[in-house]
A and B are shown apart, each in its own frame.
Chain A
Amino acid sequence: MEPEPQPSERREESSLAEGGVTGPVPVDILTADASHYRSESLWTKSIRKFARDPMGIAALVIVSVFFAIACGVWAGWIGQNWSSLQADGYTGMSREHWFGTNINGQDIYARTIQGTKTAFEVGLIVAVLSTVIGGILGAVAGYFDRTIVDEVIMWLYGCLDAIPFYLFVAAVAFALRDQPYAMHVAMIATFWSSTCRIVRGEVIKIKSLEYVQAAKALGVGSMTIIFRHVIPNTFHILLVQGTIAFVSAIKSEVILTYLGLGVKHGVSWGTMLSESTFEVSAGIFNNFIAASSFLFLLVIAFNLFADALQDALDPKKVTAS
């Protein structure tokens, strides 16, 4: 229903074009325009570019370590005794309890490790589902640009964007009444919209490309074109959007849990930080330091990873070495 370029669309585009552009690049030099869609060689080029980025590699290593921890928890190797009451409350750091214990005498180290798993659970579920939904709806909207389908999809994300996130979670929580997945559902329902918007913009460009037109001329069905030819060419966007959604999800989990809308059963960095809000004024920082340093490390690593990914995947970016 918005005929002119939406301001918010511009926002997404600029943030995607953001990063280490080192100097003005006169348009007449950018000859890469013709090969806009991503071919196999673009991917290898991107991987090579990524491999040369020390920040990106370091970030990836840190993320992998966290992921390994989460896998260890899933496999049942580490962090399993997070809920048993093992000692007195608030014992300091010791050999048995590396990070000390909390008010109930539960081992903070085990809880932090367990929290890593929770973070990945929330992050992965939200990132994957919101990106898939956003990608598909964005591709459909872009492909059927300026038709009723497009209008409806744009209307939908317009409406969802209008409701403040935390309040939306509250609203969903009311509807789902104490479902443990209310938080996930709410995040997915809000996070897909930015992916959808960006993919839609990209698909509008892709669909005018020769090979899509050729497929159309040959009578290939719309859905086949969308899934076989269009969506694969937006994978680079989906990848970046996925990492961004992951970060948003684990950050939101903490806030939502603090507000009583997030994790209710089990332990997460959010529950630990919520606990710690009652402790820091008494000078007890174990919960706080353990959860906040893990959270910060994972989030900054993911942010740097997302940046490096974006740099490496951007075909337009001319980097000076």
Chain B
Amino acid sequence: METLQFAFRKILYAIPLLFGVTLISFLLMVYFGPDLTYSLIGKNPTAEQIAEVRTQLGYDQPFFIRYGMFLKEMVTFDFGNSLSTGERVSSILLRTVPVSFAVALPGFVLSELLALALALIAANHRGGFVDKGIMVFAVVGMSISFLIVVIVFQIAFCSIYGLNLFPVQGWVVSNVADYFHYVAVPTMVIVFVGLGYNTRFFRAVIVEELNRDYVRTARAYGVSRFRILSAHILKNAMIPISTRVIISLPFVVIAGNLVIERYFNIPGVGLITYNAITTGDLPIVKAVVTSTAILYVIALVFTDIVYRMIDPRVALNS
């Protein structure tokens, strides 16, 4: 009950944010965006046809009406049809989101877990050889461009110049074995790309916690190093860490991973977004951008709730 109230209040706080992200999307892509009139009608249109399409698109309406129409699209999940294929945008999303999710999730989870493990090890040996080694690895990892990682991993695992173990591209998945076959290299790429940043972030959080007084107290009462790290510190560190993880989820789900999906030619949201960007397929880009942003705001609300569950200090009435 208390949590419900808390959640409700957080949702109220999120409304200005929702208003903001939709407004920005609307301004950039619709209000100041491209004029779609001629993409929608055939050759040699009559003046009436043009007027009709413009009315249909709402171009003759004042700002607020158009913004309202935009909001209605978002709320009803009805973004119109793709300009290039004519397919309903909502059904395109329903088809591609699960693919993106399947491609990105294993890498995402592994990357976070591996980074957390590395960060704990580094923090535990801080100042020492192991710590320095891990941190150098992290900086190197951070300094390699995503694109370079994709190229190198594809050469190394999918080409005749390397191990040639996995498919070069595509996504033909009908059973679990296929899935592992196709998801392996994208997963390795995602893990590698995220590892450096995550390890550094997690290590910073853990080291900050290590310096707190309660750690000295625990030590002074005979608590083992392992338990201090795995219980006392980890629970405190989970507050910033879980926030970060939850917040990055929507980017994984909806925005997909443009680079990976394009490079491996995987038919997820990333690829259709890429195609939409290059062909100027506004309805799709609009739908993807706005729904990701909305999901982000929802994730924010969600982190606040998780935050409260972990941290007893976050009082209800604050």
Give residues in A with beta carbon < 8 Å to B: 1-4, 7-8, 10-11, 14-15, 17-27, 155-156, 158-164, 166-168, 170-175, 177, 251, 254-255, 258-261, 270, 273, 276-277, 280-281, 283, 288, 292, 295-296, 299-300, 303-304, 307, 320
Contacts and interface: CB of A to CB of B under 8 A. Distances in A.
Contacts of A163: 21, 24-25, 289, 292-293, 296
Interface in B1-33: 13, 16-17, 20-21, 23-25, 27-29, 32-33
B13 A170 contact: no
Interface string B189-229: 00000000000110111011011010110000000000000
Interface stretch (B40-48, B141-149, B176-184): B141-149
Contact of A299 (B16, B23, B143): B143
Which DSSP category, helix, strand, loop or mixed, fits chain A's interface?
helix
Given A164-B296, A295-B145, 15 more contacts: A8-B247, A18-B200, A18-B204, A18-B207, A22-B126, A24-B211, A25-B211, A155-B17, A162-B17, A164-B292, A167-B292, A171-B285, A172-B28, A175-B27, A273-B151
Interface stretch (B75-83, B88-96, B236-244): B236-244
Nearest to A151: B16
Nearest to B308: A4
B56 interface: no
22 contacts: A1-B17, A4-B318, A11-B244, A17-B204, A18-B204, A162-B17, A162-B296, A164-B296, A174-B282, A174-B285, A175-B29, A255-B146, A259-B259, A260-B277, A273-B145, A277-B147, A277-B151, A280-B154, A295-B145, A300-B140, A303-B139, A304-B139
B147 A21 contact: no
B127 interface: yes
A167 B204 contact: no
Contacts of A295: 145, 148
Contact of A254 (B16, B147, B213): B147
B28 A167 contact: no
B314 to A, nearest CB: 6
A26 B216 CA distance: 9
A158 B147 contact: no
B211 A255 contact: no
Nearest to B33: A174
Interface of B: 13, 16-17, 20-21, 23-25, 27-29, 32-34, 126-127, 139-140, 142-148, 151, 154-155, 159, 161, 168, 200-201, 203-205, 207-208, 210-211, 213, 215-216, 239-240, 243-244, 247, 250-251, 254-255, 258-259, 262-263, 273-274, 277-278, 280, 282, 285, 288-289, 292-293, 296-297, 300, 303-304, 307, 314, 318
Contacts of A292: 145, 148, 151
Nearest to B289: A167
B74 to A, nearest CB: 13
A68 to B, nearest CB: 21
Query: In this complex, which of A259, A283, A295 has the most chain B Cβ atoms within 10 angstroms of its Cβ?
Result: A259
Contacts of A164: 250-251, 254-255, 289, 292-293, 296
B20 A156 contact: yes
B28 A171 contact: yes
A18 B33 CA distance: 42
Given A166-B258, A175-B33, A296 B148 contact: yes
B33 to A, nearest CB: 5
Contacts of A303: 139, 142-143
A167 B288 contact: yes
B263 A259 contact: no
B24 A277 contact: no
B240 A276 contact: no
A280 to B, nearest CB: 6
B45 to A, nearest CB: 22
Nearest to B149: A292
Given A17-B208, A159-B24, A281 B145 contact: no
Interface centre among B145, B154, B296 (most CB of A within 10 A): B145
A79 B60 CA distance: 51
Nearest to A7: B243
A320 to B, nearest CB: 8
Contacts of A296: 143-145, 148
